Structure 1
Amino acid sequence: MSTVTIQRTEDPGRTLGVVGLVLAIVFPIAGLVVSLVARNRSREAGFANGLAKAGVIVSIVIIAASLLISFAIIALGVAITGDPTLMAP
């Protein structure tokens, strides 16, 4: 009796890569985490996961843009009112 070995040629992080990319647009922090997990799983299996890499990049860009816009809005509020304690009760 001979044994047959079946090798799995499917990327184990592909589905997570797609989920990570979608989450990167909707919930960037969750998208970053899922995309990094997908990228690591693919790399361990010897695959290059472009979707996971795109999810990481999109997440980082959206997070950075959100932070910049938030700081700009706060700076604009301080510049207009001249009061740095806008949020104080």
Structure 2
Amino acid sequence: MTDPQSPAPGDGSVPPPPPGYSTNPPPAPAYGQPPSYGQPPQEAYGQPQYAPAPQAPYGAPASATIPGRTMGIVAFILSFFVQLIALILGIVALVQSRKAGHKNGWALAAIIISAVLMVVGVILFFAIFIPLITFGTEAFQACQAVGFEGTVTVRGLPVECSDINR
């Protein structure tokens, strides 16, 4: 007996494939990609796959530099010695950083420190140097009144009139 589903040998006809079966092989995967067989790719052990971070070219810094940061650090250091220059550099560095959308704590600190030290310097000038200058004027006038001879007392301090230049 012959099976009605399969043709007799030597008939020359090929039976049709079962449903869902393709006689064409799947296309070859691209270089570096796993073959896909109709299923989505599975991640190994359930861990997400991340692309590696882009590498900086050889000799370049690993992180992007913030505009004005170096100038802010220089301004910070100078703020203890040369306040006016530090104030100007700090403002320029802060403006550069803000235009780029970054914060620059070094520049801000340089601006604050240099401004405070400039105010302290002005106060010290008026508190120390102005009285010293006026002391010399008072001593000169007191010695002039006695004819530049002897010793006079100015603000509780003895002043030798022979030491004062006419």
TM-score (structure 2 length as normaliser): 0.42
Question: 2:146 matched to 1:68?
Answer: no
Q: Report the RMSD for the aligned CA atoms in angstroms.
A: 2.3
Alpha-carbon displacement from aligned partner over 1:39-65 (angstroms, at most 9, x marks no partner): 000000000100000000000011111
CA distance in 2, matches of 1:75, 1:31: 26
Deviation, structure 1 residue 81: 5.6
Structure 2 counterpart of 1:15, from 47, 67, 70:
70
1:54 alignment partner in structure 2: 109
Listed as ranges, the gaps of 5+ residues in structure 1 are 1-7, 84-88
Greater fraction of residues in helix: 1
Deviation, structure 1 residue 9: 3.9
Runs ≥4 in structure 1, deviation > 4 angstroms? none
Deviation, structure 1 residue 82: 6.8
1:86 alignment partner in structure 2: none
Corresponding residue pairs, total: 77
Listed as ranges, the gaps of 5+ residues in structure 2 are 1-62, 139-165
Deviation, structure 1 residue 73: 1.4
Once the two structures are aligned, what percentage of the paired residues are identical?
A: 32
Q: Which of structures 1 and 2 has the larger relative contact order (alpha carbons within 8 angstroms, sep 6+)?
A: 1
